[in-house]
Structure 1
């Protein structure tokens, strides 16, 4: 046998060995690409994140209502110190109750208004304010704990984590702002002011309520968006429309105009609620308890609306703005004007949804959300007028304040139905539909 014949059988083996390594290299390359693709895939928050945010917003809703009841029952000045940690427990013995009562007896409110109050009466207002503060602490625990978990486990994207940490800081700011508000009603200078009524500053009250509304809007809006994005990523319709129709809606000038008007209306709802805080802070709801007239006329006399008595500068340059924010008559008139404007604007925007061209341009869920917002506006108007006519009873006034949050919620939901799905939701939807295309999904 020649040397060539001996080597000939080995040649295919060498080529065979070479061709066997190629698939291995291909598999490794595909694996590497898959890992890199997974790293680049954006994080989409799960429904658990959305439910946690909605729970947190519900607690904020509750504390807004409890805070209103606390003010209406004149309980807010019963606790004269701010003790974030040690104040968790109420007085547990008679001696501890006596000490707290003595602190309250040193306040202008007790000296000017409640000198006949007994220890038992004091306990009732103390528990109301204590419950309000405990609910605030509970919101902090319910929000911050899960936030740390979701952030550390990378259950939320970095931008959303930063946004949620901002809401967490706002919770802490709310506690400090609440105490800053209470301090304004405990100042001894009230004793030296003729005709002064011991109550918190209406400016600080409006700031405290405004921060609570912003906190609620941030939690509620983000929670709703998270849940809708998740459903959309799994193949659900967005606001009741298909993928092709969604692109048409987003490019429609009519839909864009409607969305801009909805944003303006949401701002008007917020502004009206803030004007209500000034009404509450000045007890302006106890004046002119009739509607739609004020003292038998559309508006009070101009010298009453802009009384020189409220100006503090010698040249009266602050006459206008001080009357707007410090004159109870003007404050109530402004709130009426804003409330009526809000109602008319809501009715007008709702009426536009019946125009054939706009109706065709809007998603079905948007039209439903607009109808819900208009219905809530009607409820809020009835609650507001009833509160005024019946001299601000606690149940009606508390329901009216809750109604303002509910109306804001309806407007936020309306805006979310017009929102574009998030980038992560759009990408994951494409991936999921490629794996398992489905049809007849419910709307989200």
Structure 2
């Protein structure tokens, strides 16, 4: 006769749960890409209301489109930059924001419904239910954070707060990292029923921590349009740091000054690269190919960042830069997880 815990584990399907989580992770990568396009095309304020349920239905006739356009005309962005916009032009920016929100709803359902099914079937391994519910709750919070970000640009500002944009992006990537890490734990459990969750080793903590700091400054760069400040590299104009830039001499400069934000983002990349290279070496020594992927992606990311600057933030290059950041995060999680695996004692 099986004990209750053994009976529970006999129903558990860690590999199936892991595969589902990786599918959701792929959807989040798509969400990050669409979010980047939404930001770069200045489409984020085209929908001025938050309607989690009814908002899934887009305007279906000319009157509904005109009403949506009229609401957009009331916000500062339209008055400042888009007074000559036609209804056709509005539909173009509406598309990207609508797609971004629609993907958010799809991801929510793609996570919540299978989670309920796995729970009912008792196929979630013991100890993982709370983690999955926490990720679901964070995903729900992300929807609120998204509206909180959009709301910052609807009354007094002509764009969204770069601070709120950073919170929105980082939350999405924390969820992405959490899904991938949990999937890897579950795959390890599938291979060895005595396996315990991987720990976060010091090299992993350093690499992931610095990568997230760089992502924050990347969000600041996007939110402040700091990428347009200087389209040259390695110098900013004629010097490493341009003269005559008004600075307060406080930490505010690092967050709010577009020139300083671009300076930090462009040079912090090499510090992050060094930390990830160290992590990659550690993972390779543990027999993981993820280390090679990390080195390749971080090199590509630096080149894409330079190309983004030197092309004047060409949208295709900038979107590739953001998409590669998400892929680099996934590869880093794989490497970090590998060095954190602990062998079970029998």
Q: Give the TM-score normalised by structure 2.
A: 0.92
Gaps of 5+ in 2: none
- Residue 408 of structure 1 deviates from its aligned partner by 1.0
Look up the SS of the partner of 2:127 in the other structure: helix
In structure 2, what is the equivalent of residue 105 of structure 1? 73
CA distance in 1, matches of 2:80, 2:231: 26
CA distance in 2, matches of 1:161, 1:216: 17
CA distance in 2, matches of 1:174, 1:221: 19
- Residue 157 of structure 1 deviates from its aligned partner by 3.4
- Residue 213 of structure 1 deviates from its aligned partner by 0.6
In structure 2, what is the equivalent of residue 269 of structure 1? 211
Question: Cα deviations across residues 315-335 of structure 1 (Å, max 9, x unaligned)?
Answer: xxxx51221111000110111
In structure 1, what is the equivalent of residue 297 of structure 2? 376
Question: Cα deviations across residues 151-210 of structure 1 (Å, max 9, x unaligned)?
Answer: 2222113431111111111111111110110011111x34xxxxxxx1100010000001
2:256 corresponds to which of 323, 326, 334: 326
In structure 2, what is the equivalent of residue 389 of structure 1? 310
Map 1:194-233 onto structure 2 (within 5 A): 198-233=158-193
CA distance in 2, matches of 1:275, 1:37: 46
Instruction: Determine if the alignment matches structure 1 residue 403 to structure 2 residue 324.
Output: yes
Contact 1:229 1:421 in 2 (8 A): no
1:174 corresponds to which of 142, 146, 153: 142
* Largest Rg, 1 or 2: 1
Contact 1:44 1:230 in 2 (8 A): no
Instruction: Determine if the alignment matches structure 1 residue 296 to structure 2 residue 238.
Output: yes
1:307 corresponds to which of 239, 247, 250: 247
- Residue 44 of structure 1 deviates from its aligned partner by 4.8
CA distance in 2, matches of 1:36, 1:219: 28
Contact 1:232 1:421 in 2 (8 A): no
1:93 corresponds to which of 57, 61, 75: 61
CA distance in 2, matches of 1:59, 1:349: 26
In structure 2, what is the equivalent of residue 148 of structure 1? 116
CA distance in 2, matches of 1:385, 1:341: 15
CA distance in 2, matches of 1:387, 1:145: 39
CA distance in 2, matches of 1:105, 1:266: 42
Instruction: Determine if the alignment matches structure 1 residue 344 to structure 2 residue 274.
Output: yes
- Residue 380 of structure 1 deviates from its aligned partner by 0.5
CA distance in 1, matches of 2:3, 2:335: 39
Question: Cα deviations across residues 215-240 of structure 1 (Å, max 9, x unaligned)?
Answer: 11111111122123212349xxx9xx
CA distance in 1, matches of 2:224, 2:3: 63
Gaps of 5+ in 1: 1-30, 191-197, 239-249, 251-255, 309-318, 428-444
Question: Cα deviations across residues 390-432 of structure 1 (Å, max 9, x unaligned)?
Answer: 0001111111011111111111001221233586xx77xxxxx
Contact 1:181 1:208 in 2 (8 A): yes
Q: Give the TM-score normalised by structure 1.
A: 0.73
Runs of 4+ in structure 1 deviating by more than 4 angstroms, as ranges, are: 34-37, 39-44
CA distance in 2, matches of 1:286, 1:41: 55
